[in-house]
Amino acid sequence: MLNITLPWIWNHPLAKRERLRAYGRYLWWQTRCRTCCWKVDVEGFEAQVLNGARESLAGASVQAVLLEDRSPTVCHTMETAGFIPCSYDPWSRTLQPQSCAGSNQIWIRDLTWVANRLRSAPPFEVGGLRI
């Protein structure tokens, strides 16, 4: 492995300024742009994605994750992060806890928060049907 260090570039005032700008954008994003719901559709690589996203997944802002993979590894990762597997009925806008089995699964961290959000969301139309 080639390891080249360029300390004069790293310590250059313009480089420092750019690092501060990047960090400032990161902080702005972290404090203002919270993501509450993820949809992970990566064709069988869910376990790897969740493993790489453990720190983000542990953040309190993530309340729901929709996954296709229900492998034991994925189920263990989600349960360890504090999520509960649920089913969702769009007609009644309700969630029901269920076992980790079958196909698509929505994982919920805080059932009360999500239930309140579902009740307060305005209705919308899909294919001519009002939900």
Question: Is 22 within a domain?
Answer: no
Question: Is 85 within a domain?
Answer: yes
Q: How many domains does the chain have?
A: 1
Q: Which residues lie closer than 8 Å to 104 by C-beta, 6 or more apart?
A: 66, 67, 68
Beta strand extents in the chain (DSSP E only) = 37-40, 64-67, 84-89, 94-97, 105-108, 125-126, 129-130
Question: Is 24 within a domain?
Answer: no
Question: Is 112 within a domain?
Answer: yes
Domain that holds residue 92: 35-130
pTM over 0.75: no
The CA R_g of the chain, rounded to the nearest whole Å, is: 20
Model confidence pLDDT, tens digit, residues 79-90: 999 999 998 888
Question: Is 51 within a domain?
Answer: yes
Model confidence pLDDT, tens digit, residues 7-56: 555 565 666 666 666 656 655 555 555 668 899 988 888 999 998 888 88
- Is the Cβ–Cβ distance between 23 and 29 less than 8 Å? no
Question: Is 13 within a domain?
Answer: no
